[in-house]
Amino acid sequence: MNAKEHGIAVVTGAGSGIGRAVAAELLRAGWSVALAGRRVETLRETAALVPGGAALAVRTDVSRPEDVAALFAATVERFGRVDLLFNNAGTFGPGGVPVEELSYEAWRHVVDTNLNGAFLCAQAAYRQMKEQDPQGGRIINNGSISAHTPRPHSVAYTATKHALTGLTKSLSLDGRPYRIAVGQIDIGNAATDMTAGMRTGALQANGEVVPEPVMDVADVARTVRHMAELPLEANVQFATVLATTMPYVGRG
């Protein structure tokens, strides 16, 4: 398919990790992609992974309403519309900090990025998708295994990821009259810089520190692309993609 058939995507957190992998997957498939992130240099590195791809790098702090407004304005100015938002930007915050020691500033930083940023981007996408012709589009929120169950010492990250599930459900309901499909992908142990420490040892609920398996981030990207390329009459409401033997189901 060509870019016109696939449409226009906005990917936040596109300068690294899952965002970079998804953006590259979409570009290779013929999507036009607005790459959003805090550092333009890393966004350009993402774009360079697919020479000739229709990419637009936009420096964006998703926690700032004016940055988000500028991101969507630049996307529409360049490409004409928005068919997909992959709401991916996020931060774990200070790792391994007990709840009683977590500073309010650290809590706010995680909430501002993971929850407020996701809301601002979804709101901007929703407004554009509602008014454009033809009407509609798709929003895919990046949840996490932590949207289901926490790791030790992860209160801010876990709280925001649980909140994203509510955001997804509410947006999905409110988007129905306008052909706006909203779903969520919950990812466990994709191999990125953010999860690098898990391969050497991660704190478990019983207090042990053990290595955890990871999966290729490309498998996550292919899953997001599958969700993105469904017709708007079909929606993956929730998908869980995880390293098969990671400690999640069962007793582990």
Encoded tokens for 129: 């998708």
Among residues 126, 157, 178, 248, which one is catalytic?
157
Three-state DSSP at 133 gives coil
126 a catalytic residue: no
Q: How far is CA 136 from CA 85, 183, 212, in A?
A: 12, 14, 40
Cα–Cα distance, 85 to 19 (Å, whole number): 11
Please give the structure tokens belonging to residue 68.
């988000």
C-beta atoms surrounding 214 within 10 Å: 18
User: Residue 214 has which token pair?
Assistant: 């990871």
8 Å CB contact between 48 and 70: no
Burial of residue 5 (CB within 10 Å: 0-12, 13-18, 19+) is exposed
- Catalytic residues, which ones? 157
